[in-house]
Amino acid sequence: MKKSQLLISIGLIVMLLAINLISEDRSKAYFGGLPWYGWVGISAFLAIVGFWFAVRDAERARRLLEKPVVAKSDEDEQATLISPEDLERLDPDSPDYPHPVIFPERCIGCHACVEACPHDVLAIVDGIASPVARDQCMEDTACQVECPVNPKACIVVNTKKKIKPRPNPVRDPKFMTNVPGVYIIGDVSGTPLIKNAANEGADVIKHIAHELKNGAAPEPKAEVDVLIVGLGPGGLSAAIAAKLFQLT
């Protein structure tokens, strides 16, 4: 029986006893308006109900313990999965050795994978990355690590190498780091694309303006609302947005 159920039961008993104490008719051997067998019946009912709840909770706990634990894939693993159907569609004559496979619908033509590969396996063809010399692949896997999109547009298949994700600074959905009041956007955040940096510059100023408007306490020693470090695409976009939101 849960604590709430036990407290309710005790409360009912106390209420009935209180009724008995304020009752004017004390000539009968009634307690709380019930004879002794009424109290016995209530006690037996509560005991049965309590036993039923205990058995139910124990059975539920047993099933939970016996339930097999499903291994959860983290976000990085999900981003690098490729199904057999996609492999057949994108690389129908796929060799057994490690080599990159490109998702053309995901690729944004940023050259990140091409520049990361030390063996010239990849090249930009018609605006997207393409394996032009996959037999030269030496399982470097830097192409997959440097691909900035999620899910990955470049995935190395047939590799037994543990591919570590690109180390990126920790930040929340509002672009704030684990240091309160410090935000990072653009190349340093791990999204080295002009479009992403420009979008993030405007978005982070929106978040800051919203927090200041809702009473967020600024740095006591600060003489400005926001300090923009760097004048790349992200910094320029943030500066324009700050002027629009009338931030100093």
Question: CA-to-CA distance for 146 and 110, rounded, in angstroms?
Answer: 10
Query: pLDDT at position 193, please?
Result: 66
In this predicted model, which residue has the larger pLDDT, 41 or 167? 41
CA separation for the pair 172, 182 (Å, rounded):
11
156 and 113 in contact (C-beta within 8 Å)? Answer: no
Selection from 188, 152, 154, 150 nearest residue 168 by Cα: 188
Predicted confidence (pLDDT) per residue in 124-158, tens digit? 999 999 999 999 999 888 999 888 887 899 999 99
Query: What is the distance between the alpha carbons of residues 61 and 125, in angstroms, rounded to a whole number?
Result: 58
pLDDT reading at 61 higher than 90:
no
Q: What is the pTM of this model?
A: 0.46
- Specify the CATH number of the domain 76-157: 3.30.70.20
